[in-house]
Structure 1
Amino acid sequence: MTFNSYIINDEVIFNMDVNELQPVAGKDHEAITLNTPTARCLQLLLESNGNIISRDEFLSAVWKERGVVVSQNTFYQNISLLRKSLLRAGLTQDVVVTVRQRGFVIATGTVIRQVTLQNEFNSAQPLSTDASMRIINDKYIAKIDDAEVQNSVRKTFRINGLTSRQLSWWTLIIVAIMAIINIIFF
């Protein structure tokens, strides 16, 4: 059976046919169209069965196999764009975890369901549901040791539609403006 969509944490649907993140029905978020490399990064993570994907594996699978050579900076920009897009589409937490010196992985406890266009949301096949172990295709994948996880799942909060990250940037901008005004007038 070929799967063409994933439902992540019952909050966001990733439609691989059109590289789009869509909020689950009833959620008040926007649909986000991913660029092709970012969508391939997400697909690679979702299909990794809980394994850590190294930077070199990403570069090879997403770009090199298609005859494209990109810088590490381009790769990291795509991972950043992926994280932001997932949150904008309706995820309440960052599910892309950086494992220091090793790569990236989907956060332990993330619920991933694969569906086809013919399936309804309620008939989706659960792939992982347990917070301490991931169950994928009847295989148990051990939880990654928290000591090796850098930037583990960060919960975000919203105030007037702004996430905690956006509020941090606005705070920094306001402080910088106040400092400039203070220097000019005093």
Structure 2
Amino acid sequence: MSKCYTINDNISFHPENATLSSSLSGARIKINVPTAQLLEAFVNRVGLIISQSDLYSIAWGDNGVNVTPNTLYQNISLLRKALQDIGLSGDTITTVRGKGFIFTVAKVAECEVDIDPEDEVNDVISENIAPQHQDEKLIAQSKYKTHNIVLLIASMLILFGVVIYFIHKSIPKRIIDYPKSFTFLSKIDGCSIFTSTELTNVESREKANVFLSTQPLDCKKYPYIYLSFTSRHPSISIISCEHEVNYSKKNNCKTEIFINHGGFNEIKH
């Protein structure tokens, strides 16, 4: 003998094999196990509000803590559809906001019948969908989307890095091994004059200007002049460049060296 329930005199519900049948139309519906357990809870508490937490425990037992609200609502939706398809009109399952669900039908009676284990459901109207599998699919899809987003961000970062690299390569670079001790001295006939920091006093700088004014500077072709002088050796070097040396990647320069010039301190005005 197997327990069954008669709903409104013409609908039979068999929890053991999770089927609904109609004595009027002869239709039979197979529902999934959690949905059948939810219906059994409803038919035993007609007209009473059943909380969501109770429904989790009833339909999924100890595993109810791992079930998402989406799974519960999917099962409730499947149950509503099955009841409508089997012949129960109206909204038999009502959502009570913040409290749970209530099953409203005119009559439910408990019965017992003999069930043939080989009895087949010949007219399946609703699909036997396990919403928990849908949850797993949604989780997998979410992970797939997250994975794609991560790949997209990584690709954009790599592309950004490549663009920055080529922009950086295209900008004139400071020559690393070039002395950075040169400072701006003056302008002479369109030439920008830079000197080493050893020319620290005003007198030496003025004498350097006098010295350069006596040189045939080609300021149109070589507008950047770098003057180097050291007291340790009586020589002066002049580097004339087409572009500013520190920032030009490609440059055209010429170098002139004056030996035994006597030192800037000996240059006469």
Please indicate, yes or no, whether the TM-score normalized by the shorter chain is above 0.5. Answer: yes
Superposition pairs of residues 158-173 of structure 1, within 5 angstroms: none
- Ranked by relative contact order (alpha carbons within 8 Å, sequence separation 6 or more), the top structure is 1
Measure, in 2, the Cα distance between the counterparts of 1:73 and 1:114. 31
Letter of the structure 2 residue corresponding to residue 15 of structure 1: H
Measure, in 2, the Cα distance between the counterparts of 1:97 and 1:114. 22
Letter of the structure 1 residue corresponding to residue 39 of structure 2: L
Measure, in 2, the Cα distance between the counterparts of 1:68 and 1:30. 35
Task: Report the secondary structure of 1:116's partner residue.
Answer: strand
- Aligned residue for 1:45? 42
Runs of 4+ in 1 over 6 A off after TM superposition: none
Q: CA deviation at 1:33?
A: 0.6
Measure, in 2, the Cα distance between the counterparts of 1:115 and 1:92. 23
- Aligned residue for 2:79? 82
Q: CA deviation at 1:50?
A: 3.1
Q: CA deviation at 1:12?
A: 1.2
Q: Which ranges of structure 1 fall in alignment gaps of 5 or more residues?
A: 119-186
Task: Report the secondary structure of 1:4's partner residue.
Answer: strand
Aligned-CA RMSD value:
2.1
Q: CA deviation at 1:90?
A: 1.4
Task: Report the secondary structure of 1:42's partner residue.
Answer: helix
Residue in structure 1 matching 2:33, options 32, 36, 57 = 36
- Aligned residue for 2:15? 16
Measure, in 2, the Cα distance between the counterparts of 1:70 and 1:64. 10
Measure, in 2, the Cα distance between the counterparts of 1:67 and 1:103. 16
Q: CA deviation at 1:92?
A: 2.2
Q: Is the 8 A contact 1:97 1:105 kept in 2?
A: yes
- In the alignment, does 2:111 pair up with 1:115? yes
Letter of the structure 1 residue corresponding to residue 5 of structure 2: Y
Q: Which moved more, 1:30-39 or 1:59-68?
A: 59-68
- In the alignment, does 2:70 pair up with 1:99? no
TM-score computed with the length of structure 2 as normaliser: 0.39
Q: Is the 8 A contact 1:4 1:116 kept in 2?
A: yes
Q: CA deviation at 1:80?
A: 0.4
- 1:53-101 Cα offsets, whole Å, 9 max, x none, are 1111111221143577211100000000000001111112331121121
Provide the aligned length of Structure 1 versus Structure 2.
114
Measure, in 2, the Cα distance between the counterparts of 1:42 and 1:70. 18
- 1:5-61 Cα offsets, whole Å, 9 max, x none, are 11111231101121100002xx22521111000000000111125321111111122
TM-score computed with the length of structure 1 as normaliser: 0.56
Over the matched positions of the two proteins, sequence identity in percent amounts to 36
Measure, in 2, the Cα distance between the counterparts of 1:32 and 1:60. 24
